[in-house]
Structure 1
Amino acid sequence: METEFQLSDYVTILKKRWLFLLVPFVLLFGASIGVATLLPPLYQSTGVILIESPQISKEIVAGSVDSAARERIEVIKQRVMTRTNLIRVANEFGVFRGGDGKLSSTEIVSRMRSSSRVSFVSSGGGRGAQTIAFTVSFEHGSPQIAARVANEIVTLFMDENVKTRTKIATETTDFLNQEAQKLEDHLAEIESKIANYKQENASALPENLDIRIGIRERTENQIRETNREIKAHQEELRFLDIQLAALKSGLGQFNPPPVMLPFETDTSIETLDLANPELEALKAEYKTAKAKYAPSHPDLKYLSRQIEELEDQIIAEGGVSGTAVQIQRLEDERKAEEDAGNSARVTVLTAEIDALKESLRLAAMEGVDPRVLRQQQQASLAEEQAKVERERAKAELKLNVANVEAKIGVTNERIASLEEQKQALRDRLREVEQTILQTPLVDRALRSLNRDYENAQQKYNEVRAKAMEAQIAENVEEASKAERFVLVEPPTLPDEPIKPNRKKMVMMGFALSLAAGVAGIVGIEFIDGSIRGANMLTSVMMVEPLAIVPYIVTAQESRTRKRTRFLIALGGIVLVFAALGAIHVFYMPLDEVFYKVMARFT
């Protein structure tokens, strides 16, 4: 059965255990007052920086920095809060001068970063709220140092923003200019490739296809015309060959008449025919074949061998016929030597011919009658006249033969020239047809190169346009017409510290001290198992007491209690005065402490 405490029970417990309430309360409350009094003040100086929108519309000039404001501020914060900057600022403004001992550079950087604050100011409360400003603050025990350091950090933020934006704009412009230069070089390289390819395939360019087709048609027409001319000249050549053969056949008929030698018989004068019919027949056949065939023809060679064999046979038989054949051979040889220009040999041959003719004449005149001799002289005169006529006709016929041969030569040369021209035309036609066949391949290759050139040109135009935009954006950044940081509220000298809140600390110390005293009483009562009062006895024994006898305090106990209370009060007073004396002597005069404490709380 649980015991229910009455108000009188609580009063009784409080009277009995009041020291357990008083001691913790006094100690803890005094400690809280001491802590609130002795904690150094901490001042905060804050500057407000507005993120001002660009003065020139983005539709007119696009900015070179498109990152979010919060992200950009964080980047700037990392660049400002570098080890070098923080140590420089700390040393320049003596942030930790006069502190406890000499701090290492790592501790200085750590404390500087923990004392610096960057907070964002948004336009709304949602997730998509836009950052329109941010605050930069610095905390320090000295308001002057806090204001100076905060101003320096704000200046670093402002300068770093300008430097960063200008650097980004400059780097963007430089990068785009470099890319544009690379693309320009690439364009020049492609142009060079196209020019070289066109130069290498100048005869197969697609734009000249119609011209080459026209050239092919004209060349084919020229070939046909040349063929017609060749056929015409070949017909003329055949006619001239026939004419030449006829002339040469007529020329063969101008052989000298047979030498008729007179001799006297018993009844009349008869003549001897020195010509051999068989030899004359072979020579006539040879001349006819020579007009038909080439010099290397087998029939001509065969007839020439037969004539030589027959002449050798006649010469071997001797007589006037042999002498006449020998004279004919020497005359042919003399003619050949004359053509060769060998005058010495011609002279020798002429002498031999004259000797043979003289011997032949003497042999013919032996025993000839004078009348026969006169007839012979008349016949010789007539023969001389006939011979002159024959020579004239023969010369005229030779002239005609030479003219025909000259025409044949000219015709042959013309045919050869036409054949060369036709071959040149065929070679040209072959080249033109080859270039026409190569035109689709060249066209495809040129299309590929032109497509590459157009793509590179398009990229170059895009990059060049972006480079111009970047240059304008850089000019805008340099003129401070783009998005910028504006110091709306510079850091000022703080009037009051932001912490500690001394009044709040004293109030919290009072509440905690009182709670500690009550907790002490409750703990002691929980540990102590004594029975207090009739109600507790009844709940424990389950029996109502017959009578309640109150505690009777004797005079001795009363005096003892009073003396104890007096000693405790006296000890407390002595302890307070001793503490005040120690503070006055060893720490600070009490009047200064009083004013300082009042200044701390006010």
Structure 2
Amino acid sequence: MEEHEGGLSAAEAAAALWRRKYWLAVPAVVGTGVAAVVALLMDPIYQSSATILIESQQIPTTLVASPITSYADERIAKIRQQILSRDNLIELINKNKLYPDERGKKQLADIIEMMRSAIQVDLVSANVGSRNAQGGKATIAFTLGYQYSDAAVTQDVTQQLTGMFIDADVRRRTEQASGTASFLSRRADELRERLDKIETQITEVRSRFNGALPDQVLASSQNSASLRSEIARIDIEAQGVVQSNAMLAGQIQERSSERSQSELAQAEANLAKLSAQYADNHPDVRAAQELVMRLREADYVAVAPVRPVMTQQLQAGRSRLALLDRRRSELEAQVARADRLVGLSPQAAYELNNLTREFENLNDQYQKIRDRQMEAQVAANLEAEEKGERFTLVDAPQMPEQPIKPNRPMIVFLGFLGGLGFGVALTLLIELLLKPIHGRAAIVRLTGHTPLGSVPLTRHGLAANDDRSFKTRILQWLPRRAHS
């Protein structure tokens, strides 16, 4: 006969659990007891927390721009990293004598990580419009909590952490505001020095190209033309004086010997001509002057005295020619200078325009930096007077009255469930492995045949035999019954 095997039905499983109810009760009781002992042995963990409000700047930003460009959650994250640094946590641990039991058992790095995980920072957001890119959400407050096994120490450490957060925020904002003002001040000083240097260069260019500057070149050109007109006038006047002297010399010559007077007149005319063309120190002019002097001496000896008036007029004409010659030389020098300045005008304009353009650009930057510096200084003053955005403690840390963990009732309940589950699993496992026969359903499941009848158990009958003997007899009896 082939044995038909299968799983337990729900009714069989329930019956098996009922038959072995003590197998369920004992693990449940043991699990509950163990869980209760564990719950009692676990150290209570208390939590103290503080709520810190992020207050906005008291003065409108339209009047004074805030120097803080980062969002509150970003600042909180940076401050959290600063506060939870290794050095700060070591200082807190030593100051408050935290984790005394763990110090002899664990490494310092593990203890620091324990404390870091015991500190919680939870942000509180609200819809404040389109203040940032997160759908109009902005952080308006945050809660700072600390968990430890001693309630009083928990409160003290939370208070210290709260003070460290607020102080760090004030310090960061003040340093940022004052640092911005200092940076802008240094930048303004640098630009001011460059502006002073360029102003000195502009003054030097104006001095070096005086008369050739763009606003002076027209006057230099007009001055050159005026000087040339003056030279032409002097040439005309000199020509007239030369002619007058020639006439006087002719009249004087009539009273002198014809030969000497003619030579003197020619020499004087030549001298006047050369004087009109060259300076007094010119070799030709000097030679002509010496010739005139010799001829005059000779004429004075040979010629009879002439009229004093004519002699004075002739001498006056000669003096005038000398004066006109000197004046002409001066004017020619002035014309040369004016022409040189006009020629230097493009170079002067180029250098002056470059310096002026650089000065204007730097001056614009300087004015903008100065405006920003003033704003930054006002913002720094706001931070110093605590008028800017700041952290405000609205809910101070309190002494925790009840521990937040362990949850002892839950631990005991879980111990009960664990023990009960172990008993159920053990009972069902035994039923599946040993396959004891209890009732008609078990016979059908094992043999595939329906029994013809059933004999009830009696106190002194089959009850005295074990299940396996009964099963063996049934299996031996059924085939014989089937063949009869």
Matched, 1:175 2:188: no
Distance in 1, Cα, partners of 2:14 & 2:464: 19
Q: Secondary structure of the residue that 1:182 maps to in structure 2?
A: helix
Show the counterpart of 1:460. 366
Distance in 1, Cα, partners of 2:417 & 2:387: 58
Show the counterpart of 1:259. none
Q: By how many angstroms is 1:200 displaced?
A: 1.0
TM norm structure 1 = 0.64
Task: Trace 1:447-526 onto structure 2 (pairs within 5 A).
Answer: 447-526=353-432
The code of the aligned residue for 2:36 comes to: I
Task: Trace 1:560-575 onto structure 2 (pairs within 5 A).
Answer: none
Distance in 2, Cα, partners of 1:100 & 1:164: 33
Q: Secondary structure of the residue that 2:60 maps to in structure 1?
A: coil
Show the counterpart of 1:384. none
Distance in 1, Cα, partners of 2:431 & 2:337: 126
Q: Deviations over 1:134-183 (max 9, x none)?
A: 11111000000000000011011111122222222211221111111111
The code of the aligned residue for 2:54 comes to: I
Distance in 2, Cα, partners of 1:510 & 1:547: 42
The code of the aligned residue for 2:16 comes to: I
Task: Trace 1:136-155 onto structure 2 (pairs within 5 A).
Answer: 136-155=144-163
The code of the aligned residue for 2:162 comes to: V
Q: By how many angstroms is 1:450 displaced?
A: 1.8
Distance in 2, Cα, partners of 1:434 & 1:177: 46
Matched, 1:133 2:133: no
The code of the aligned residue for 1:185 comes to: E
Show the counterpart of 1:63. 66
Q: By how many angstroms is 1:222 displaced?
A: 0.7
Q: Secondary structure of the residue that 1:220 maps to in structure 2?
A: helix
Q: By how many angstroms is 1:87 displaced?
A: 1.9
Q: Which runs of 5+ in 1 are unaligned?
A: 253-286, 296-335, 341-393, 561-602
Which of 483-492 and 461-470 deviates more?
461-470
Distance in 2, Cα, partners of 1:37 & 1:75: 40
Distance in 2, Cα, partners of 1:156 & 1:427: 83
The code of the aligned residue for 2:198 comes to: I
Q: By how many angstroms is 1:78 displaced?
A: 2.1
Larger Cα Rg: Structure 1 or Structure 2? 1
Q: Any conservation in 2 of the 1:166–1:474 contact (CA below 8 Å)? A: yes
The code of the aligned residue for 2:236 comes to: R
Q: Secondary structure of the residue that 1:146 maps to in structure 2?
A: helix
Distance in 1, Cα, partners of 2:97 & 2:6: 67
Q: Secondary structure of the residue that 1:130 maps to in structure 2?
A: strand
Equivalent residue pairs, number: 431
Distance in 2, Cα, partners of 1:20 & 1:28: 13
Show the counterpart of 1:28. 31
Show the counterpart of 1:231. 239
Q: By how many angstroms is 1:498 displaced?
A: 0.9
Q: Secondary structure of the residue that 1:234 maps to in structure 2?
A: helix
Q: By how many angstroms is 1:535 displaced?
A: 3.0
Choose from 207, 227, 241 the match for 1:219.
227
Distance in 2, Cα, partners of 1:155 & 1:468: 31
Show the counterpart of 2:290. none
Q: Any conservation in 1 of the 2:246–2:265 contact (CA below 8 Å)? A: no
Show the counterpart of 1:443. 349
Q: By how many angstroms is 1:292 displaced?
A: 8.0
Q: By how many angstroms is 1:229 displaced?
A: 1.3
Show the counterpart of 2:86. 83
Distance in 1, Cα, partners of 2:13 & 2:66: 77
Task: Trace 1:260-299 onto structure 2 (pairs within 5 A).
Answer: none
Q: Any conservation in 2 of the 1:247–1:401 contact (CA below 8 Å)? A: no
Closer, same or farther in 2 for the Cα pair 1:538/1:192, shift >3 Å? same
Q: Deviations over 1:115-135 (max 9, x none)?
A: 111111111497431111111
Show the counterpart of 1:165. 173
Distance in 1, Cα, partners of 2:199 & 2:239: 52
Distance in 2, Cα, partners of 1:237 & 1:531: 171
The code of the aligned residue for 2:204 comes to: N
Q: Any conservation in 1 of the 2:58–2:389 contact (CA below 8 Å)? A: yes
Q: By how many angstroms is 1:437 displaced?
A: 3.3
Show the counterpart of 1:187. 195
Q: Which runs of 5+ in 2 are unaligned?
A: 129-133, 269-293, 467-484
Show the counterpart of 1:54. 57
Distance in 1, Cα, partners of 2:103 & 2:353: 81
Q: Any conservation in 1 of the 2:79–2:168 contact (CA below 8 Å)? A: yes
Q: By how many angstroms is 1:556 displaced?
A: 11
Show the counterpart of 2:44. 41
Closer, same or farther in 2 for the Cα pair 1:559/1:427, shift >3 Å? same
Distance in 2, Cα, partners of 1:64 & 1:106: 37
Q: By how many angstroms is 1:436 displaced?
A: 2.4
Q: By how many angstroms is 1:555 displaced?
A: 7.8
Q: Secondary structure of the residue that 1:466 maps to in structure 2?
A: helix
Distance in 1, Cα, partners of 2:215 & 2:226: 19
Show the counterpart of 1:332. none
Closer, same or farther in 2 for the Cα pair 1:175/1:100, shift >3 Å? closer
Distance in 2, Cα, partners of 1:218 & 1:293: 34
Q: Secondary structure of the residue that 2:216 maps to in structure 1?
A: helix
Q: By how many angstroms is 1:79 displaced?
A: 2.2
Distance in 2, Cα, partners of 1:290 & 1:205: 54
Q: Deviations over 1:48-84 (max 9, x none)?
A: 0111112211112222222101111112222222333
